Structure 1
Amino acid sequence: MSSQQKIDVEYQRRVDTMPIIGSVALITGAARGLGRSFAQALLARGAKVCVTDINEEQGKVAETELQAEHGANNVMFVKCDVTKDEDFRNAWSKATDTLGTVGLLINNAGIGNEKNWQLTVDVNLGGCMRGTLLALEKMGADKGGAGGTVVNVSSIAGLKVVPFGPTYATTKHAIVGLSRSLGHDFHYAYTKVKVQCLCPSFVQTDLIVDSKKTAFSPQCAAVLEKIGGTLKYMTAETVANGLVQLIEESRNGGCMVVEADKDPYYVDPPVQS
């Protein structure tokens, strides 16, 4: 490889790497659980973060605690119901006005209510759709933006058969498809917005507990109760470290799995286009 080729490769590597320090991130469902850990990890690496959540009380607690640790000018909370377009737009606008131009969106909000499949679809898939499309509108180079990155939080349930949570698994499969499709270089060529997907395995959060209460059937509830104690759970911090790696490696359309006792790894589509 010639000296010029080495320079070109290094330049391309810098262009393709997403720096977290100095960026402004908006995270949905971030008052607690995974979203709160995501906010903590990004703040620790020099980002400014807009925490959003439907739970205003917990959101304000998260804002106060994160500001105390990372500075009042680096964190803010905005109430946001991801099933409502106007809430998403309001959160984006307030984040921009207070923290600066948003260049990183983490679509994390999610539920596992099998008894109310419409709500689960609207929160999980609808929230990612609304957020991603808004990000393309606000960050897209073809719309006058500076580009950016979207990370849609799916699940390992989006990559395998999950008979005990069919609605949840359906939404998570769809999020993988959305991220891979809009994360194709065809779209990046004109938007300069990268779309990625994070697929964590089991984490001990309220979502796991709540899912048992709203199971698909009594039979599913019984199985979930039985296997709950046998699962190998990860900490939210482990998943947050995976998120950081995914963002920094900046692989457009990348689908990263984070499992207990394994290094994070990418999964390619089963059928190549």
Structure 2
Amino acid sequence: MLRYCQENDVIFVKCDVTDAEQFTEAFNRAVREFGAVEICVNNAGIEDERIPETMIAINQTATIRGSLLSLEHMRRDKGGRGGVIINTSSTNGLIYGQSRFPVYMSTKRAIVAFTTAWANNPDQKTHDVRWAVVSPCWVLTPLSAAGEEAGIKAGRRYPPPIIPEGYDHPNVPQEIWLRPIDAALGYMTVLDDDDSNGYVIMVDRDMDTKRLVLQEIMKMDKSRTPIESLVLKKRFFVPPVVEPGTPCL
């Protein structure tokens, strides 16, 4: 982060997101350092079906806790400045029946339900807090690479390989990997749009062209029921912001 920000603009706080006290102190530290909390991007999570309780605690419970802590700091009716809460789901949180990781899928689908419920809260405008979900496809990070390598050794099978040209990993099957900076475009789309409350944005790669695709899957519409709102609103290609092969940030 210090490569892109001034030293006084960023701090690192070690925090176990499953520990309520540590999580609360992380928010308090942010307020002490910067004066307020106005943007929260909650943790992405883990995928390991062997430890379902831990996965639920990190992926789902911690996201809910971080969201509620953010809301208390942001809401204008309690002295906050308003803000944006972005929660991280997954493309697997938008589909049904993927048998490879049922617990993981359930945690990610829960994030969509939780976030859009708050976006549709009758007091949302009073709070002046926008809620949105970003659902990336596979993102290549040191954690995901290690998990994929373990899966290969365990004999796990994967779909046919597709990966951005020049962005390979020797221990990972070449799937539809995104770089962290690619996934970040979904979050920036939410932050840049003042009308983004209730957005559910999928960040993926086109199977044929390998180009980055952002799709607005859901947008809150008061004239419709939530089910009717679950329609594809936009689909657009995004030009690359850095050259392929740029290391993970």
**TM-score, reference length from structure 2:** 0.74
Paired with 1:185 and 1:114, the residues of 2 have a C-alpha distance of 33
Query: Which consecutive unaligned segments of at least 5 residues does structure 1 have?
Result: 1-65
Given residue 132 of structure 2, which amino acid in structure 1 is its aligned partner?
Q
Query: What's 1:258 paired with?
Result: 203
Give the letter for the 1:222 counterpart: R
Deviations along 1:45-91, whole A, 9 cap, x unmatched? xxxxxxxxxxxxxxxxxxxxx33542211110111111111111111
Aligned to 2:157: 223
Match of 1:103 among 35, 38, 55: 38
Which residue is 1:271 aligned to?
227
What is the identity, as a one-letter code, of the residue corresponding to 2:10?
A: V
Over 3 Å counting, the alpha-carbon distance change for 1:129 and 1:174 in structure 2 is same
SS in 2 for 1:136: helix
Amino acid at match of 1:268: M
Q: CA RMSD in A?
A: 2.3
Residue of structure 1 equivalent to 2:67: 132
1:236 aligns with 2:180: yes
Q: Which residue, out of 125, 133, 136, partners 1:200?
A: 136
Alpha-carbon distance between aligned partners in 1 of 2:116 and 2:189, rounded to the nearest angstrom? 18
Cα offset, 1:242, TM superposition: 2.0
Amino acid at match of 2:204: E
Q: 8 Å contact 2:160–2:175 — kept in the other structure?
A: no
Task: Give TM-score, length-normalised by structure 1.
Answer: 0.68
Higher share of residues assigned helix: 1
Corresponding position: 1:74 with 2:9: yes
Label 1:208 to 1:72 Cα distance change in 2 as closer, same or farther (>3 A).
closer
What percentage of aligned pairs have identical amino acids?
29
Q: Does 1:165 align with 2:110?
A: no
Number of matched pairs = 204
Question: Which of 63, 69, 84 is the matching residue for 1:149?
Answer: 84
Please state how far the C-alpha of 1:139 moved relative to its aligned partner.
Answer: 1.0
